[in-house]
Amino acid sequence: MQARFLTLFSSSKGNAAYIKYGRDEILIDCGVSAAMIERALRSVGSSLANISALFITHEHGDHIRGLPVICRKVGMPVFAPVNSCAYLEPSVANAKSRLHPLVSLQPVELFDTVVCPIKTPHDSLDSCGFRIKAGDEKLGYFTDIGHLSENILRGLSGCRRVVIESNHDIEMLKRGSYPAALKRRILGENGHLSNDACSKLLPHLAEHGTESVALAHLSEENNRPLVALAAAFSALDSAGVLALTAEREPVADIFGQDPVISPAASMKVQVAPTCGAIEL
């Protein structure tokens, strides 16, 4: 049995992902309205009523917008980084009994999955990504990360499927209309991961067993899907890894170039859309 692993929403406007394995159905973040999340879950054969646990990466609005309504309607436990819990408590009905603090590297055991939070560098009260064990498979989910810490790299090692931030093209951001202070924040050690930083990570992931990646949390103003994909494909090509599209076609079919085919590894790479489910 293989886990289902899908992104439902991915952008600065709102984020959510869904994992199903065995008796567990997990929602990661709820950064759009409860109604939108319910529609997205129904489109993939589930519902908020089926969710066995909600995991929050951090307390910024594009990750928790739907939390108050979801918690009024559905009684699943909510897990959030320990230093975000006080901020989130007013949004979680019956918070004393159902809001559970996450401590980095201390796993949460559900029925059939184990979710390990890993602290991430971001300018929030607290922040984490997740390494999820579903049977014999490991999954990784890391967005809103200013840089790749040693623990993040360890957490991603061995994950067969990974959602990873590829937020901005550095030059587009520098030339763009954002205020200087916001540009410094995004580019800082506790900001967001650039296309360059993400693409340099991908050969390392392939070397350590990753077969499928979704590039997530793309900036609508400072990035484009094809720009992020081009950076990813170039890095994989240079490392001798065969990059595949979502349809598992070689990159040459898009860019008209002969891919460098290595028997060692191939990787499916796709962009998590702003709105709409994709399965890794």
The tens place of each residue's pLDDT in the chain, 280 residues long, gives 899 999 999 998 999 999 999 999 999 999 999 999 999 999 999 999 999 999 999 999 999 999 999 999 999 999 999 999 999 999 999 999 999 999 999 999 999 999 999 999 999 999 999 999 999 999 999 999 999 999 999 999 999 999 999 999 999 999 999 999 999 999 999 999 999 999 999 999 999 999 999 999 999 999 999 999 999 999 999 999 988 876 554 444 333 333 333 333 789 999 999 999 999 9
DSSP codes of every residue in 174-229? HHSSS-HHHHHHHHSTTS--BHHHHHHHHHHHHHTT--EEEEE---TTT--HHHHH
Tell me the whole-structure pTM to 2 decimals: 0.92
Which helix or strand (DSSP H or E) is residue 74 part of? none
Contacts of 42 (CB under 8 A, 6+ apart): none
SS3 for 62?
A: helix
Report the C-alpha gap between 119 and 105 in whole angstroms: 8
Report the C-alpha gap between 236 and 155 in whole angstroms: 20
Report the C-alpha gap between 153 and 136 in whole angstroms: 20
Q: Which residues make beta-bridge pairs with 6? A: 18, 279
Domain that holds residue 181: 4-279
Q: What is the pLDDT of residues 238-257, one digit of tens each?
A: 999 988 876 554 444 333 33
**CATH number of the domain that residue 191 is part of:** 3.60.15.10
Edge to edge, what strands does the sheet with 113-119 contain? 108-109, 113-119, 128-134, 137-142, 161-165, 212-216, 266-271, 242-244
Q: What is the pLDDT of residues 17-73, one digit of tens each?
A: 999 999 999 999 999 999 999 999 999 999 999 999 999 999 999 999 999 999 999
Which helix or strand (DSSP H or E) is residue 155 part of? helix 150-156
Report the C-alpha gap between 216 and 141 in whole angstroms: 10
Q: Which amino acid is at 144?
A: D
Q: Which amino acid is at 190?
A: N
Number of domains in the chain: 1
